[in-house]
Structure 1
Amino acid sequence: MNDITPEDTADTDADFTYQVDIEDIGKRLDAVLAGQLDTLSRNRVQALIRAGEVTVDGAKIVETKFRVNEGQILTLSVPEAEDPDPIGEAIPLSIVYEDSQLIVIDKPAGLVVHPGAGNWTGTLVNALIHHCGDSLSGVGGVKRPGIVHRIDKDTTGLLVVAKTDVAHQGLSAQFADHGKTGPLERAYSALVWGAPASLKGTIDANLARSHTNRQKIAVVKTSGRHAITHWQVKERFGPEDQPPLASLMECRLETGRTHQIRVHMSHINHPLIGDQDYGAGYKTKVNRLEDPLKSIIADFPRQALHAGLLAFAHPVSGETLRFESPYPADLEQLFRALQKF
């Protein structure tokens, strides 16, 4: 892909720029842009085109059916939303590390990272505004102050937030580099159904909004956004004389797309336990189990995914900071029950 803007930052779609790839030749302008943006529907993209918010090689284009050519530069500007500005809320935070430049949070399940449709209050941003006051970096914008990367609402674990613009820029550069030239590491623990035949592997599969359900992400053969997940089986669960019921996998991200691990695991037919969006078809497996494991899995309220390792270079001192988070109580209970199976 030929994205011009840095990846894996706050994922803002304002002033998005994309260079048309060979696979996009002859496609409609609205289709190409919608395929590159995770957070905008095709209808929204079409409305922005008609409103004059899109240029092709610097020329304003208002025709949604405009056909693009390889190498053209597409630029989309999204007007600032009129949504309410977030306010501070006294929401408890599990702070792993904090200094004048940044703060590392161990996020619980159920906490949305930043305000958005249906979640204008009760988010991590609201909690950070209350805790940090005016010290949060403004680079992420009013709605996402200090936010450098995200994890899903029901995924637990570590994320770093910038308190100054200098920290925000330094951390964003590391996430855009994917750890290729620095110490950035992100590792997730995932409890999945079944187990791959091999012990480790890599999933390289582009992701885009599903055409059938815009709330979900899907693997696509063409267009979409480049996504790479490296995985390793750490433990298999189940009787030795039977195929594994489940396994513990460590997933390391080379990119940071919306729902990346969840979709990639489902793509290789090993969806996360508890994932109602990408693993609902495995509910029948639960009914064949016996208690207490049956009840524990049936009652597990979320995808079994935990961001347990985060390492990066301090954006000011250059010191390598490395943090590990133990399983939260619900994931620990599920893990122990699987070990006894």
Structure 2
Amino acid sequence: MQNKPSEERLAKGAYNWLRISPLLTIITLYIVASFGIGDEICYSNLSLCGEYDYYSPIAGYINVGLGVLVSACWHLILLQYVNNKDSEFVRKHGKQALTYAGIRTAVAFFGVLIDYLLNGDGSLACFIIMILFLLWLALPNLGMEKIKKELEANPNISRENAQVQPNISAEVLSNEVIDLTKEKAEEKEISMENKQSHQEILDSILANLKSTNDADRKQAIEQLREINFSSPAIRSLLEKMSLQDSNNIVRKEALKALSLPSNQAVQKHLIANQLDRGIRFTILNEIKKWVSDGLLNEENAEVIQSRYDFDF
């Protein structure tokens, strides 16, 4: 079964549609205008279009105006993002993209109307086309920039290239436990028999962390304090619980559990070979600046910091 598209991908999809939609809207405008509906209207009601020698330009304005309105219907495709049931983030950017589409349509339509009122006979066309071209370039990029800033400020938004934490095998788990034991010399040596039971313990803790019962989740976190090993799946779930759990006490305890030596060892195993200490120190300083500048709230900052401060 395929995974659902990430929130980032869906939100960007709305702005990408704005980039390609002119291919369809321009063709549609041309086709609708070529139907000559304005000519039919003026032929059937000359009083609506003025004198006979004047109705032809008015018919042209009607043709183009109808073409603009009909071609704008392509933007209704953006409603799939506006009405997304799973993500407020996607809905927000779907509405923003639809607003941008409305701005472009309004510029085109009122450009035709103003040209008619000023008797420009199409003289404003080049100016309107230039404005539409600039809007086509600027608005999707503006939307993409907003997405980028929100992704930096909110780690809970699912990313396009986010890597899902794999279910850890008993062999990988044993290696991590050995690493932790070496780092913590005061910990007593773990026997092979105990290693074989670690997976069962972690499976039980993970199941309780996913429980809808507050007491089960609290007990699972307390059990983590009594052991000296953990797993990527558990640490990842603790991050989400520290921000999203419905129980305030559980959220606080989950955040504290991220600082346990066992969970720090898991994070070190995952990231130490990818980012050296100097880079992580720079990231931690940047996080502090984001908080002080109001770009990131304290709760999210603490969770993000726990990914990089395991050896500071």
Q: Same fold (TM over 0.5)?
A: no
TM-score grouping bracket, smaller chain normalisation: under 0.3
Relative to its length, the structure with more helix (as a share) is 2
Relative to its length, the structure with more strand (as a share) is 1
TM-score by length of 1: 0.18
